[in-house]
Amino acid sequence: MTWHPLTWAFWTAALTGILLYGLAAVRAMDLFLNWDPDRADIHQLRREHRAEIASLLAQGSFMALAAAAALGLVGVAMVWHPVVPGAMCGTGVLQAMEPYGRRAMLFWGLGLMIFYAWQVLDRLNRSHPGNVATRSAGRMLITAAPLLVLAVYYSWQALMHVAAVPAVSCCAAIYDRILAAPADSAGSSRLIALAFFGHLTGGITLLVLAALAVRLPGRVPGGFITALAVTWSVAASVAVKQVWSPYHYQVLSHPCPWCLFLPDAYGVGFIVFGCVVVIVMEAVAFWTADRVCRQHPQLFEAAAIRRRRSAGRIICALIGFAIASAGPAIFWRLNTGIWLKAFF
């Protein structure tokens, strides 16, 4: 394992978050099993006190774990590649971490997605003196446990492999795959075209639905927006990697998303993929608030406000993604009169 200062910071934040989460989850289990808002005995009063403590602990845990995930991303993208022989960007770091690095990123994303949904539900619940959604909030908080545990476990395994592996090929492996795959070029072109037009169509659809959610509350189903946002995020990631990235690098056929995070690309990857993360997270928040509107009429007003706020953030993130990803391509076209690369 590399003991870079960022690694110490990552583990400090991650272990602090897990400790706080464990303390909150124990209380959440009791709330989920025994919460009864219709009772007013001493046991229910104690549970109300535990609910307040659990909420504060879980809020602190979410902030610590989100900070750990951000530090881990910065480490992979910008910091740890100098200690991996042959690595020039996050591609080489993930090669050194195989197969645990990608698994850690997957479980961090899923765990924080559920945790963010809990935060939205908890804040809506606390906006009403009756705390009518406490049981649902406790169940959602407990649901994140296995994902967060696996995220920390795979992070440990991944970091144990850094600086303890032979030299990696990093971006050279990308060029080798490009040169060695002429037979699959037709299939790859169809996949890239599908991702390109899919992310354009999905982005426009998301923009229209989010605008409708702001103007016509209650008419847009939250589950559909969430499913569309997740599907769009996959297509958008492929489109950035295969179509938009050459305009950032000004080099043809260099489909490496991790190089977008480097200073040579002005760190635009943080903006591009940050907007993708915001869209997915706010779609999850929209879905959570939509369910609260339907299941808890007492929280309807607060949930409707949160739903409109999520829709507004989705619109802003879509605009930011379009500018950060496609802006250099449009600038190139205006300056040169041609496209650097065909869109599919």
Residue 99 is given by DSSP the state T
User: CATH number of the domain at 181-336, please?
Assistant: 1.20.120
- For the chain, which ranges sit under pLDDT 50? 183
How high is the pLDDT of residue 155? 94
How high is the pLDDT of residue 269? 92
Rg of the chain in Å (alpha carbons): 22
Residue 75 is given by DSSP the state I
Residue 166 is given by DSSP the state P
How high is the pLDDT of residue 173? 56
How high is the pLDDT of residue 323? 95
Question: Which tens digit of pLDDT belongs to each residue from 85-143?
Answer: 777 888 888 888 888 999 999 999 999 999 999 999 999 998 887 788 888 899 999 99
Could you give the CA distance from residue 57 to residue 64 in angstroms, rounded to a whole number? 11
DSSP for 110-137, written as a single string: HHHHHHHHHHHHHHHHHTSTT-TTHHHH
Question: Which tens digit of pLDDT belongs to each residue from 246-289?
Answer: 888 877 777 788 889 988 888 899 999 999 999 999 999 999 99
How high is the pLDDT of residue 176? 56
How high is the pLDDT of residue 183? 45
